[in-house]
Amino acid sequence: MQVTLTMKPRAKPFLPIEAEMINPMNFIGSQNLFVWEGNKKRRLEDIFTVRKEGNVNSPENIVVVLRGDTSRVKRVGEYMSSGTIIVEGDIGMHCGNFMRGGFIEIQGNADGWLGREMRGGSILCHGNAGDYCGSGYRGEKRGMRGGKIEVAGNAGDYLGEYLTGGEIHVHGNAGMFAGAEMRGGCLIIDGDARIPAANMAKGTCIIHGEIHEMLPTFEKIGEKDGMLVYHGDVANKGKGELIVKSKIT
């Protein structure tokens, strides 16, 4: 079954919409779904034009398509465990929070906290991702624990903060403090990064581009496939692995 949600024009287009019920599983049956626009509770149909096509047999076969200006729609696919969500434009914050399975494809850009604390499944973002992609919530000791996030564009600051498991692959550049406090998992950045892997404890961070302002507390171990291998962060007895291209500025 395909569910197409098209944004209706809004009087105040900048108001955030919290829509954690946009989760493929919730479109089985005909229950009433509600979203929050600012401090007002609205029916899903007040915000989106909902069109359902085909029959449902299981949540894995449900494809939810989001159309229109969805850049202010937050928490899409929260706790999602199966099915597919395709966002044709940009998506707001917290997309794929705590996701356990299924697939989210974002054809535009994603705002902050993409795949926050996700446990499984995969997210593909064709545009840029905002800050805190694959990280944890404030004060949380573990960020993303499993699954895969692939970002074709650039990622913002604090990419994969507290990354504990799973893989994040950014094809473009990352902002400041990528892989800060990493505790496991694998972070691959094809472009440049600034102050990466700060205070890392475990895990692997691979940077193919240039590193700006590399931290002084990484111990050079050797070379592997033309890349330099560092261990750290020595400041906290970390046993992480930072693999970088030889050029460091």
Partner 1 sequence: MFHIEDKVRHIVCPYCGCLCDDILVELTDGRISGVENACTLGAHKFLDDADNRLKGPIMRKGDQWVDISYEEAIAYAVQTLSEADRPLLYGWSGCVTETQAIGAHLAELIGGVVDSTTSVCHGPSILAIQEVGHPGCTLGQVKNRADTIIYWGSNPIEAHPRHLSRYTNYADAYFLHNAFRERKVIVFDVRKTATSEIASEFVQLEQGGDYHVLSALRAIVRGREDVVPDMVAGVPKSQLIRVAEMCKKAKFGALFFGVGVTMTGGKYKNIRNAIEFVDELNRHTKWTISPMRGHSNVYGSNEVFTWITGYPYAVDYARGIAFYNPGETTAVDILARKEADAALIMASDPGAHFPRTCCEHLAKIPTILFDPYPSATTHLCTVQIPCAVNGIDAAGTAYRMDGIPIRTRKFLETGYPTDTSLMHEIYEQIRERKEHV
Q: Give the interface with partner 1 as residue ranges (CB under 8 A).
A: 12, 14-16, 18, 36-40, 72, 93, 112-113, 131-132, 137-139, 176-177, 180, 195, 198-199, 213, 215-219, 233-237
Is the separation of the CB atoms in 119 and 99 below 8 Å? Answer: yes
Residue closer to partner 1, measured from CB, 116 or 148: 116
Q: How far is the CB of 218 from partner 1 (least distance, A)?
A: 7
Residue closer to partner 1, measured from CB, 63 or 91: 91
Residue closer to partner 1, measured from CB, 103 or 162: 162
The alpha carbon of 56 is separated from its chain's Cα centroid by a whole number of angstroms, namely 28
Residue closer to partner 1, measured from CB, 227 or 234: 234
The alpha carbon of 126 is separated from its chain's Cα centroid by a whole number of angstroms, namely 12
Q: How far is the CB of 62 from partner 1 (least distance, A)?
A: 26
Is the separation of the CB atoms in 241 and 230 below 8 Å? Answer: yes
Q: What is the CA radius of gyration of the chain?
A: 19
Residue closer to partner 1, measured from CB, 84 or 173: 173
Q: How far is the CB of 25 from partner 1 (least distance, A)?
A: 21
DSSP-derived secondary structure letter, 8: P
Q: How far is the CB of 139 from partner 1 (least distance, A)?
A: 4
* Close Cβ partners of 138 (under 8 Å, ≥ 6 residues apart): none
- The closest of 171, 164, 208 to 186, measured between CA atoms, is 164
User: Is residue 233 reached through a cis peptide bond, with omega within 30 degrees of 0 on the bond before it?
Assistant: yes
Residue closer to partner 1, measured from CB, 102 or 136: 136
Is the separation of the CB atoms in 3 and 25 below 8 Å? Answer: no
Q: How far is the CB of 149 from partner 1 (least distance, A)?
A: 19
> Which tokens hold the place of 108?
């535009």
